[in-house]
Amino acid sequence: MIQAKGYAVQSAESKFEPFNFERRELGANDVLIEIQYCGICHSDIHQVRNEWQNSTYPMVPGHEIVGRIKQVGAEVSKFKEGDIAGVGCFVDSCRACENCADDFEQFCQKHLVLTYNSTEMDEKTPTFGGYSNQIVVDENYALKVSAEQNLANVAPLLCAGITTYSPLKRFGVGKGQKVGIVGLGGLGHMGVKLAVSMGADVTVFSTSPSKEQDARNLGAHNFVVTKDPENLAPLAGKFDFVLDTVSAAHDLNMYLNLLRTHGSMVIVGVPDKPAEVHAFSIIGNNRTLAGSLIGGIAETQEMLDYCAANNITSDVEIIPIQQIEEAYERTIKADVRYRFVIDMQTLA
C-alpha cells in the first residue's frame, strides 16, 4: 500500500487533525498524483458536519484536486509522469450502465464512487479526498489540466467550475439572454465568469452589499441586494435563466418570479432543509424549475479546455492546511473571496 497523509475529522463535532492512511498500490490503469492544491467546497463543510445525514468518519474531504503525476500504471495512456492532472467529485463508476455509457457517470445506476465520504466499487473500502498529499486514481477518472494556468486557481474548476458550466450549457445560455446568479460564493463567482464568457447579460443576486464591486469586476452587469425583496420587484418576469447556488435555506419563489415566459431556474445549492415552492411560482409564465449535479468526465474535460482557451480560473485565497477551521467559519459567513484553496505543501 502507499502511505498517505492528510487532515481528517473523526465526527461531525470534531476539529480537523493530521491523519495518516493508505492509498491502494498502483493498478495497471492507475495514476499516482502528488496533490498541489485542493479547493474548499461548501459541500465539504456540509459533509464534515453531517448536514446531509450521510457522513462516515474518519473523513478526509476535498474534491477540487490539482497536482502532478508522480507515477503511472503499466497500461496508462492518457498521462505520463510529470503531467498536471485534476480530480473532481468522483473517482470511479460502473462504466457499463446507461448513464455511464452516456457520459453521465455522476448518475451511475450501480455505484458512484465519490472522491470521499464514499466507498470504492466493492462498496466497502472507504475513499479519502484531496486534503492530503497524494491520491491514486484510475486514469479514466482523472482530468487533463493545462500547465499554463495558475494551478491554485484551476483547482476550484473541478467542482465549482463544472457545476456551473454544465447547467449554463444545458440550457443554452448565450448572447442576448438575461441571466441571474443567486449567491456570490465559490460556485456563484464561477457562474458569473462563465455566463459572461458565453455572452449573457448577468445580474448577481446577493445578501452581501459589500460584494457589489467584486461582482462587477467579475463581469456582472448588474447587482441586486436581496435582503430587501422590494429590490427584486421591478425585475419580475425579465430573466431567461437563473442559477441558484445558495448553500443555506432560502425562499425560491422570489427568484422563480424573476423568470420570463418559458424561463428556467436551476438549483445547484444543497441547503440542509427542503424548500417550499408555490405552484403559482412555476405555472405562471410556464416556468421550469430544474436541478443539476456536477458533470460527467467528458463534460468536465470540455469545461477545463474551455476555461483554458478563454483564460478563466477561480479567484482564490490560498491557505496553509492548518487554517482549515478558520476557512470553514469564514465560508459559512459568506466571507470568502471567492474560494479557499489549500496549498498542500504546507502539509508537513
| Residues at the interface with ligand NAP (CB under 6 A) | 41-43, 46, 159-160, 163, 183-188, 206-208, 211, 245-248, 250, 268-270, 292-294, 331, 334, 336
What residue is closest to Zn ion based on CB?
41
Q: Which is nearer to ligand NAP, 32 or 334 (CB)?
A: 334
Q: Which is nearer to ligand NAP, 271 or 320 (CB)?
A: 271
Number of helices and strands in the chain (H, E): 10, 17
Q: Pick what 289 binds: ligand NAP, Zn ion, none; C-beta below 5 to 8 Å, kind-dependent.
A: none
Please tell me the total number of residues recorded for the chain in this structure: 348
Q: Nearest distance from residue 42's CB to Zn ion, in Å?
A: 7
3-class DSSP state of 105: helix
Q: Pick what 153 binds: ligand NAP, Zn ion, none; C-beta below 5 to 8 Å, kind-dependent.
A: none
**Pairing state of beta strands 143-144 and 134-138?**
unpaired
N-terminal to C-terminal alpha carbon distance within the chain: 21
Q: Which is nearer to ligand NAP, 106 or 149 (CB)?
A: 106
User: What are the residues facing 31 on neighbouring strands?
Assistant: 72, 137
Question: Is position 114 an interface residue for Zn ion (rule: CB under 5 A)?
Answer: no
Q: Nearest distance from residue 310's CB to ligand NAP, in Å?
A: 21
Q: Which is nearer to Zn ion, 159 or 184 (CB)?
A: 159
Among residues 41, 224, 252, 304, which is the contact residue for Zn ion, using CB under 5 A? 41
Question: Is position 168 an interface residue for Zn ion (rule: CB under 5 A)?
Answer: no
At 292, which amino acid appears?
Answer: S
Q: Nearest distance from residue 71's CB to ligand NAP, in Å?
A: 30
Q: Nearest distance from residue 62's CB to ligand NAP, in Å?
A: 13
Question: Is position 65 an interface residue for Zn ion (rule: CB under 5 A)?
Answer: no
Q: Which is nearer to ligand NAP, 6 or 269 (CB)?
A: 269
Size of the site for Zn ion (CB under 5 A): 3
d(CA 205, CA 99): 34
Q: Pick what 136 binds: Zn ion, ligand NAP, none; C-beta below 5 to 8 Å, kind-dependent.
A: none
Q: Which is nearer to Zn ion, 158 or 265 (CB)?
A: 158
CA distances from 322 to 6, 7, 126, 170, 201 (A): 11, 9, 24, 39, 40
- Among the residues of 60-176, which ranges form H helices? 98-101, 151-154, 160-170
- Rounded to 5 degrees, φ, ψ at 288 are -115, 130
The residue assigned the cell 502528488 is 34
Following CA atoms 241, 244, 245, 249 in sequence, which dihedral angle do they give, to the nearest 10 degrees? Answer: 180
3-class DSSP state of 231: helix
d(CA 339, CA 335): 10
Q: Pick what 336 binds: Zn ion, ligand NAP, none; C-beta below 5 to 8 Å, kind-dependent.
A: ligand NAP
What residue is closest to ligand NAP based on CB?
185
CA distances from 327 to 56, 322, 331 (A): 22, 10, 6
User: What are the residues facing 8 on neighbouring strands?
Assistant: 17
Q: Pick what 208 binds: ligand NAP, Zn ion, none; C-beta below 5 to 8 Å, kind-dependent.
A: ligand NAP
Site for Zn ion in 145-164 (CB under 5 A): 159
Q: Which residues contribute to the site for Zn ion (CB under 5 A)? A: 41, 43, 159
